[in-house]
Structures are given as structure tokens and as C-alpha cells.
Structure 1
Amino acid sequence: MKENHEIPWGGLAGIGALVFAIIGRLVMGDAPKVAQSTAAIAAYLSQHRTQVLAGSLLYAIAVALFLWFGVTLATVFRRADSTGVAPALVFAGYILVSAIGFVGIAVFAGMTYAMTMHRALLAIAAGPYTALTVMGAIAGIAVAVPFGAAAVVIMRTRVFPAWMAWLAALVAVIRVLAAFAVGSTGGALAPDGALVRSVPGLLAGLWILLASWLLIREHLPVATTGTRPVTGH
């Protein structure tokens, strides 16, 4: 569809966001848990300074591509459902999450730079490190907004297969539940534990990958009747 030639680029941006995020995580290495000692956290920041800064740049690129993907997705949803509120929530949600992501990664990079330049500050490294980790867990509620809204749009319009709506809803619910684990101080339910960070992240990444592929294939509405799209390739 020539009129939708820019849409597949949004799908490629979604895949690019995942690639850059994964590489950024690998570059940063094995980060310490918040429950570990101040010495362990300080040693990580000091010994992995270059990796942390490089990984932060990669994460920043991932966030920019994530925003591109989100805006494209919101545009597709708006074409399919021009009267509903949910497409606007998708748009606003991706902007909100991207803003939180940019701020979080920039603060982490700035903290690392400052503390490794002025090493006396490493004595308090555990404070901001833990605060940023908790901030990331609570931000899961913001992440739930675009995923929940996407589920509503897909169920209303079938612009994507119905199972994509159920997967988006699952991601939204798990993200909200994971945010309530911030009261835990250790184990899988800690703010940086597997059930709070890894599982929701993997499910969200899977949904983004699948949605990106559908955008690349131009599985999009070209006209609407009520809230039901007429699709074409």
C-alpha cells in the first residue's frame, strides 16, 4: 500500500529497539542486585564505567526507536478506530514510557560518570542505584497503559489478530502486579528480581516483536466501516 509506505519503518524501529536494548544490556554486564552491599555496587560502577556509559547510549537509542514504533502503532490504531479514546491512550502511553526511559537511563549514566570521576561519591552509590531500580519497577504501571489500550483497540477493530489483544492485556496485568512488588527486599519478587523485571520484560518484548512484524507486513486497515477495518496488502 503506497499510502502506508512509512508504516513498515515503524515496525523496523520496533525490532531495532529490541536489538539495541538487548545489546545494551549485554554490554553493561552482570549488574549487582539492590540487596547487595554498597561495596559491591560501588565496585560494579567503578570497574564497568565504560560499559555502563556505552550501554546507556545503546539504551537511549533503543528508547528513541521504541517511541517511533509506538507512534506508528498509535497511527495505525487511530486509522482503525477514529472515534475511540484507546488509540490516544496508546500514543500518550508510549510518550510517557519513553520519557521515563530517557530520564532513567540518562540519570543512571550521569550518576555513574559523576561517581567514577569523584570517587568519594561511590560511598553512597547504593542509594541512587537502588532508587533508580525501584523507579523502574514502579514505571511498570506506566508501561501497562499503552499495552492495555492496545488490547482494547485490537478487540474493537481486529486490526491485529485477537490473540495479540490477549497477549497485550497479559503484559499490562503482569506489569501492574510486578509494580506492587516494590515492598520486597530480596528474592524473585525484589524490584530487580526475575518475576518483576525479567518475565514482564520478555513478554513485552515478544509482543513488540510480533507487532513490529505485522507492521512490516503491512497488515493494516485501508478503510473503516464503523469500528471494523477493511484490510488489504
Structure 2
Amino acid sequence: MNDRRLNRTGGIAGLAYLVIASAAAAITSKPPGPHASNQSVQHFFIEYQGRLVAQGWLYALATGLVIWFAVAVRRVLYAASSGRHLGDLFFVGTVAVGALSFVSMSIRIVAAGAAAELSASAVRAVGTDFSLVLLALCGFIVALSAIGYACCVIPDGLLPRWTGWLAIVAATVNVAGTASVFVTDGPLSIEGGFATVLPVAATAAWYLGTSISMFTARDETLSQPL
């Protein structure tokens, strides 16, 4: 596969990842909030078992796409003056987050299948709280990959510099979101919504800008060796 085609397929993979991940997020109704009882959470997992399994399957599919996206973006970042190292930082961080999401969704599928036999508190702890805490703490890894990307793109202009600033915003919001593990109630708690929605939205905006920009990457960046 030539470099231009790799860039374009990487951009397509990034866009497809966002579409599939958005579809996965919307496949279930809004989950119970922080004030919901453990029994309400258990009932949610029992009622929406099929949808939760489909949601996990879609997220797993999206993980493969985001890895392909990361491969293509790293190829462009390697052309930066420090791209050999920072490009790897972006790639490893993106793959690590995808792998942890894969694990989280696998456990969520298992919790959905066993929700009727488990205690209500166990369903909440394993099926909801574990996944949300893992997503929140992944903010540190997302931030590292975003900083690596920004440090390649902003100085060298390999891709539009505004995508580097989107990465900076994503890094800031994701690190802030990790603090939700210390909040036990309200909209900023793990189950409150804002602590997960805002980091995910900021990261999605960065990925969207980068995916679109991959179609117009400068020709000279494509001739650099891996």
C-alpha cells in the first residue's frame, strides 16, 4: 500500500471509528445516574442485556479501526523533527486506550449476561463503576498521546496546526476528567455524566479533525521512511 493510500484509509478508519463508537453509545437508553439504587442498575442490565452485548461488540469493532487510524497518523508524525519518539508515544497511547476499552466492554458484556444471578451491588460495581473508572483513568493515557501528537504537529505543520490545539484541549479535558474518581455525588462524579461525556467529546473532536486532515497531508511528509 502506498503512503497516500495509507493516509486516506487511515482517515477513513478514523471517521468510521467515530461513527461506530457514536452508534454504540446511542444503542442503549441513558443508564441510571448516581442517585439510582443498585436494584435499578441491575434491572437496567437485565432489561437491556441484548443491547449491552451489541454495544460491547460495536466498541470492539471500533477498537480495530482506531488502531488502523493510529498506524496511519504515526506514519505522518514520523516526518517531524522529533516524530520518531513522539509519534510512537501517540501510537502506543492510542492503542493502549483501545485495548483497555476492549477489556472494559468484555467485562460489561459478562456482567450483562450474569446480571440476573449476581447481586445488585455486584452488577453495579462490575458492570458500571469499573467501566467508568477505567474510562476516567484512561484520561492520563489519552493526554500523553495527545501531547505527543501536538508536539509533532504544532511546530512542524505536518497536519493543520489547529488539530494540534484540539489535541491540547483534549489532553486538558481528559486529565481534568480523571479527578472524577474523587467525587462521589453530583454531575462531576463517575456516574454523573460530565466527567465521561466531556473528555470523550473533546477526544472525538480531535480525532475528527485529524481524520479529515489525513486526506490532505502534504506530499513531502509521505516520502519519509518508517
TM beyond 0.5: yes
Q: Which residue of 1 aligns with 2:89?
A: 89
Counterpart amino acid of residue 8 in structure 2: P
Q: Which residue of 2 aligns with 1:44?
A: 44
Contact 1:80 1:223 in 2 (8 A): no
Contact 1:34 1:133 in 2 (8 A): no
Give the distance between the partners of 1:163 and 1:178, measured in 2 at CA: 22
What RMSD, in angstroms, separates the aligned Cα atoms of the two structures? Answer: 2.0
> 1:33 deviation in Å?
2.2
Q: Which residue of 1 aligns with 2:123?
A: 125
> 1:171 deviation in Å?
0.7
> 1:217 deviation in Å?
3.2
Contact 2:70 2:90 in 1 (8 A): yes
Give the distance between the partners of 1:168 and 1:131, measured in 2 at CA: 26
Give the distance between the partners of 2:113 and 2:70, measured in 1 at CA: 30
Give the distance between the partners of 2:90 and 2:183, measured in 1 at CA: 30
Counterparts in 2 of 1:208 and 1:162: CA distance versus 1, 3 Å: same
Counterparts in 2 of 1:82 and 1:5: CA distance versus 1, 3 Å: farther
1:162-199 superposed Cα distances (whole Å, 9 cap, x missing partner):
22211111110110111012111122211233431112
> What TM-score results when the alignment is normalised by the length of structure 1?
0.87
Give 5+ residue unaligned stretches, structure 1: 225-233
> 1:84 deviation in Å?
4.5
Contact 2:173 2:202 in 1 (8 A): no
Matches within 5 A, 1:31-180: 31-81=31-81, 84-116=84-116, 119-122=117-120, 124-128=122-126, 129-180=128-179
Counterparts in 2 of 1:147 and 1:215: CA distance versus 1, 3 Å: same
Give the distance between the partners of 2:216 and 2:174, measured in 1 at CA: 28
Give 5+ residue unaligned stretches, structure 2: none
Contact 1:35 1:185 in 2 (8 A): no
More strand by proportion, 1 or 2?
1
Give the distance between the partners of 1:120 and 1:82, measured in 2 at CA: 51
Contact 1:13 1:66 in 2 (8 A): yes
Give the distance between the partners of 2:161 and 2:41, measured in 1 at CA: 44
Q: Which residue of 2 aligns with 1:186?
A: 185
Give the distance between the partners of 2:59 and 2:136, measured in 1 at CA: 17
Task: Tell whether 2:205 aligns with 1:206.
Answer: yes
